[in-house]
């Protein structure tokens, strides 16, 4: 049976939600998971028995914190699959870990499984569906990226393609990882039957949202796309941002981040193969949109 680890990052300001999430993880059917909670430069409350607590000296950002959690799992015996969950989410079903184990066991080339994130009314926001226009939230199938708030990764994929890009700090680190996994021949599945309930929120609530989104879009393209596709990708996203008509302060912050990404490098650069571009196109999301 595949072993599972669970990584949860917290800023120390959601104790009630964190405890509820840990309770839902403990209620899962089958063999218990190895669970580690990392405080991002924050003290942690008392946790359930069997849950490891790691207080990081500073906020490493989302990708850096995830990398620290994966490293902790490796140093403490290792697991076959790692689940990464938002600290204000909840697993409403008790068969989630069993279904995750079954999915990875049945398909040896399955690298990542993305969960469906649903709000208090069971509705998935458009931005939480990894398909163009947020279509088909209740339809499972292969996709080209996954949601950061709830996903499972085969540890062999991390060993092969590397960690999340820590310099991104926040925004698009999942897409960067997904593109590298796809280019290495792994499959990414969206599973509508694997649910994490999560309060309905706006991504723009984060102070760094606009700047990091603009900067990391550029880094994402520069790191992963064939050179000829980089300007096409960035032009399409610049146009999309303008059409969305963000507030003036947000738009100015986005452009500041965009030009920061143009000016600064985020190595290493490993452009994906053209057959990966074609594969993504056949899956409905060519890497220029």
Which helix (H) or strand (E) element contains residue 194?
A: strand 187-197
Give the tens place of pLDDT for each residue, 208-249.
Answer: 899 999 999 999 999 999 999 999 999 999 999 999 889 999
What is the per-residue pLDDT for 202?
74
Distances 233 to 110, 216, 237, 246, 260 between C-alpha atoms, Å: 27, 13, 6, 20, 17
Task: Find the helix packing angle between 248-263 and 230-244, rounded to 10°.
Answer: 170
Give the tens place of pLDDT for each residue, 228-238.
Answer: 999 999 999 99
What is the per-residue pLDDT for 205?
60
Name the token pair of 29. 């059917």
* Dihedral (CA of 38, 117, 239, 241) sign: negative
Task: Give me the chain's average pLDDT, please.
Answer: 95
Statement: residue 207 has pLDDT above 70: no
- For residues 5 and 8, give the distance between their C-alpha atoms in angstroms, rounded to a whole number: 10
Region 81-89: mean pLDDT is 97
Number of H helices, E strands in the chain: 9, 8
The domains found in the chain, sorted by start residue, are 4-201 (3.90.550.10), 204-271 (no CATH)
What is the per-residue pLDDT for 204?
61
Please give the model's pTM, rounded to 2 decimal places.
0.96
Name the token pair of 137. 């939230």
Q: What is the DSSP string of 104-154?
A: HHH-TTEEEEEEEEE-TTSPPPGGGSSSGGG--TT--EE-S---TTEEEEE
What is the per-residue pLDDT for 47?
97
Task: Find the helix packing angle between 173-183 and 209-224, rounded to 10°.
Answer: 20
């Amino acid at each position: 049976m595949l072993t599972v680890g669970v990584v949860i990052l917290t800023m120390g300001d959601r104790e009630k939600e964190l405890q509820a999430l840990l309770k839902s993880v403990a209620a899962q059917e089958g063999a218990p998971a190895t669970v580690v909670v990392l405080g991002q430069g924050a003290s942690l409350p008392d946790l359930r028995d069997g849950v490891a607590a790691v207080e990081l000296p500073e906020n490493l950002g989302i990708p850096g914190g995830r990398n620290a959690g994966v490293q902790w799992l490796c140093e403490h015996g290792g697991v076959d699959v790692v689940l990464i969950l938002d600290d204000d989410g909840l697993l409403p079903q008790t068969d989630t870990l069993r279904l995750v184990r079954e999915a990875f066991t049945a398909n040896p080339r399955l690298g990542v499984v993305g969960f469906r994130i649903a709000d208090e009314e069971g509705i998935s926001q458009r931005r939480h569906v990894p398909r163009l226009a947020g279509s088909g939230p209740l339809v499972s199938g292969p996709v080209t990226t996954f949601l950061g708030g709830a996903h499972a990764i085969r540890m062999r994929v991390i060993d092969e393609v590397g960690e999340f890009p820590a310099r991104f700090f926040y925004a698009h680190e999942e897409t960067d990882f997904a593109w590298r996994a796809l280019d290495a021949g792994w499959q990414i599945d969206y599973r509508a039957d694997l649910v994490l309930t999560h309060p309905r929120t706006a991504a723009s609530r984060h102070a760094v949202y606009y700047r990091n989104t603009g900067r990391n879009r550029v880094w994402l393209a520069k790191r992963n796309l064939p050179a000829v596709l980089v300007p096409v990708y960035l032009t399409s996203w610049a146009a999309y941002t303008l059409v969305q008509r963000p507030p003036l302060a947000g738009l100015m912050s986005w452009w500041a981040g965009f030009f920061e990404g143009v000016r600064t490098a985020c190595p290493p650069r490993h452009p994906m193969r053209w057959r990966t571009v074609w594969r993504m196109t056949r899956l409905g999301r060519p890497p220029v949109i």
